[in-house]
Amino acid sequence: MTASTTNNPVLEIKNLQKNFGKLQVLKGITETIYEGEKIAVIGPSGGGKSTFLRCLNCMEDPNGGSIMFEGEDIADMHVDINQHREHIGMVFQSFNLFNNKTVLQNIMLAPVHLGCAKLKKQKRKNAMIRISAPFRSILKAIDKKHAQKYDRQPVELTTTPQQIKAEAEKTAMRLLQRIGLEEKANVYPSTLSGGQKQRIAIIRALAMNPKVMLFDEPTSALDPEMVGEVLDLIRQLGEEGMTMIIVTHEMGFAREIADRIFFISDGIISEQGTPEEFFEHPKNPRTVEFLSKVL
Amino acid sequence: MEFFTSLPKKWAVFYNTFANKNGYKEFLSGLKNTVIIAVLGLFIGIIIGTIIAAVKVIPPYKRLIRFAQRIGDVYVAFFRGTPIVVQLLLGYYVLFPAFGINLPILNVCVIIFGLNSGAYISEIMRGGINSVDPGQMEAGRALGLSFFSTMMLIVIPQAIKNILPTLGNEFITLIKETSVVGYVGATDVCVAFRYIGTNNYEFIVPYLVMALIYIVIVLFITMGIRIMERRMGRSDRVHN
Ligand SMILES: Nc1ncnc2c1ncn2[C@@H]1O[C@H](COP(=O)(O)OP(=O)(O)OP(=O)(O)O)[C@@H](O)[C@H]1O
Ligand SMILES: [Mg+2]
């Protein structure tokens, strides 16, 4: 483990299962991922790496098991998954920048929209509290035993939509500066190179202040000369202590950055370990066979 | 031959009625109604069509969703399965009176045309939504946006851009179809020219001019669509 890794679990995955129809793709995965950890997920095509990753933010709804995140089991269909997804960044192989939005709008959209939605909700709540005040005081007088149950104060609003927007824009510009693309703020994604798109997709996720970042083959759709710039950015995030789970075919990168390697084949983590253990002394014959092909 | 040689005289008769006997007033009020029915009809149609299409693409996990989708199917089947004239007659003489609703004929036409084009536009819009890369929805959901928000902010704007030419065709169809509102007593371009013709029982020139007017309207719309397409194409341009 590197210095930045702590003992606070971020994701506790228990017996995670996923089927597509009759096909069982994940056959029970149990793992805990700690704050600051960098996990590289590798394995043969069709082994279930993407499915595993996509289950972690319920882009695919798990069919069994549990995933504890922020004190809730997000595999449970009753939790508000949107609220948790705000804190789980995801980066796709095909970037998926919003085509109808400029670069700046891409980065600001979710923070502004979600921030304003929360503000509106609180405003509505406050209004309800004010309107219901007379009724509550009556109930309070009648139901003396539980008097304090009827005491409710409106929450003071500390921000405005304008402030949220200004804040989001500041963050977005800071992030763009960080990757040296501030002059691209007002262009549309179709005008960018693959490497630029992917780096913007990464900072778009960062703008939400995620607790963990999920990467699904972030460099597989890139021209070789652009792979480096994207890996550099991911490496930087890792050095800053971001918790990351990265599905990748870049063995060198996995070896360099990862605290632990998960080898997923046939729907289970059939082997895992530190890069040295994993690459130097693989135990599972399946791993040996895989490594002999890719190294 | 006589048909052609008599044309100048017939034109003079038409022109007299049109310019001096208030024919132009009839025409203008007809044109106004045609445009109102088509424009408002399209507007209502886009709203209804978008709602039906958006409901249609929700993953049908909940029973309520499946129920809403079924209602959408029945709606589309009804409005695509009956002629617009039948819908107008049913609406004006049967349905609205049955519910005790007494609306001016123009409003009835707007509503019926809106409901009708809603059915067609829902199918167009569904195609548009399906043409948008599913990765766009995934990216929105992964950021914590709801299905609805992502749909409204990301997917539908792109869908509309993709279907703009088809939507323009729908508008043109709508303009032309309004020519049947005379059946329920509304005055449109078509009724206006029939009225002008009836004045002297001379229909040849009025009907020729009428056809010309429809062509001009359609050409105008076509131009408008081109301009809009160019504007909305911004995000596709290589240089900004
Ligand atoms: N939406 C889906 N519907 C049906 N089957 C699916 C779906 N997604 C994945 N699968 C199947 O699940 C299995 C695992 O797929 P997954 O994409 O997780 O593999 P992977 O390890 O990411 O492979 P690759 O290295 O090719 O990306 C495959 O057999 C695949 O065909
Ligand atoms: Mg994959």
pLDDT at B120: 96
Closest to A66 in 3D by CA, of A58, A75, A57: A75
Cα dihedral B83, B84, B86, B91, rounded to 10, equals 150
Position in ligand 1 atom list of the atom nearest CA A54: 18
Q: Which position has the higher pLDDT, B144 or A295?
A: B144
Q: Does A197 contact B at CB distance below 8 Å?
A: no
B154/A114 touch (CB, cutoff 8 Å), yes or no: no
B139/A88 touch (CB, cutoff 8 Å), yes or no: no
Look at the block and give the residue holding tokens 């805990």: A32
pLDDT at B239: 40
B144/A96 touch (CB, cutoff 8 Å), yes or no: no
pLDDT at B19: 83
A99/B158 touch (CB, cutoff 8 Å), yes or no: yes
Q: Among A51, A59, A250, A270, say which to mutate for ligand 1: greatest number of ligand atoms within 8 Å of CB.
A: A51
CB of A74 within 8 A of CB of A15? no
User: pTM above the 0.80 mark?
Assistant: yes
pLDDT at A37: 95
CA pair distance B109, A129, nearest whole angstrom = 46
**Is the backbone of residue A65 left (phi > 0), alpha (psi -120 to 50) or beta?**
left
Q: Which residues touch A38 (CB under 8 Å, ≥6 apart)? A: A2, A238, A243, A244, A246, A257, A258, A259, A260
Instruction: Give the A:B interface size as CB pairs under 8 Å.
Output: 83
Instruction: State if residue A20 touches ligand 1 by the CB under 6 angstroms criterion.
Output: yes
Percent of chain B with pLDDT over 70: 97
CA pair distance A54, B225, nearest whole angstrom = 41
Query: A119 C-alpha vs ligand 1 centroid, how far in Å?
Result: 39
pLDDT digits (tens, 9 = 90+) for A47-67: 999 999 999 999 999 999 999
CA pair distance B132, A100, nearest whole angstrom = 11
Q: Does A59 contact B at CB distance below 8 Å?
A: yes
Q: Does A150 contact B at CB distance below 8 Å?
A: no
Query: A84 C-alpha vs ligand 1 centroid, how far in Å?
Result: 24
pLDDT digits (tens, 9 = 90+) for B127-147: 999 999 999 999 999 999 999
Query: A25 C-alpha vs ligand 1 centroid, how far in Å?
Result: 7
Strand ordering across the sheet containing A38-42: A88-91, A212-216, A243-247, A38-42, A260-265, A268-273
pLDDT at B235: 58
B235/A86 touch (CB, cutoff 8 Å), yes or no: no
CA pair distance B43, A144, nearest whole angstrom = 57
Question: CA A155 → CA A30, A119, A125, A132, A152, distances in Å?
Answer: 41, 11, 9, 15, 9
Residue B73 has pLDDT above 90, yes or no: yes
Chain B interface mutation, best of A55, A61, A91, A98, highest count of B Cβ atoms under 10 Å: A98
Confidence of residue B198 (pLDDT cuts 50, 70, 90): confident
Residue A32 has pLDDT above 60, yes or no: yes
Residues from chain B that touch A57, judged by Cβ atoms under 8 A, are: 142
Which residue's CA is the closest to the ligand 1 atom numbered 26?
A45
A96/B133 touch (CB, cutoff 8 Å), yes or no: yes
The C-alpha of B150 sits at a distance from chain A's nearest C-alpha, in angstroms, of: 10
Q: Does A63 contact B at CB distance below 8 Å?
A: no
pLDDT digits (tens, 9 = 90+) for A242-289: 999 999 999 999 999 999 999 999 999 999 999 999 999 999 999 999
SS (H, E, C) A91-118: ECCCCCCCCCCCHHHHHHHHHHHHHHHH
Give bridge partners of residue A18 from the DSSP assignment: A26
Instruction: State if residue A248 touches ligand 1 by the CB under 6 angstroms criterion.
Output: no
**H helix count then E strand count, chain A:** 10, 10
CA pair distance B81, A194, nearest whole angstrom = 47
Complex prediction ipTM: 0.91
User: What's the mean pLDDT when you consider all of chain B?
Assistant: 90
Which residue's CA is the closest to the ligand 1 atom numbered 22?
A50
pLDDT digits (tens, 9 = 90+) for B12-50: 888 888 888 888 888 999 999 999 999 999 999 999 999
Instruction: State if residue A62 touches ligand 1 by the CB under 6 angstroms criterion.
Output: no
CA pair distance B141, A89, nearest whole angstrom = 11
Q: Does A93 contact B at CB distance below 8 Å?
A: no
CA pair distance B212, B224, nearest whole angstrom = 19
For domain B2-234, give the CATH superfamily: MetI-like (1.10.3720.10)
Confidence of residue B240 (pLDDT cuts 50, 70, 90): very low
Q: Which residues touch A83 (CB under 8 Å, ≥6 apart)? A: B144
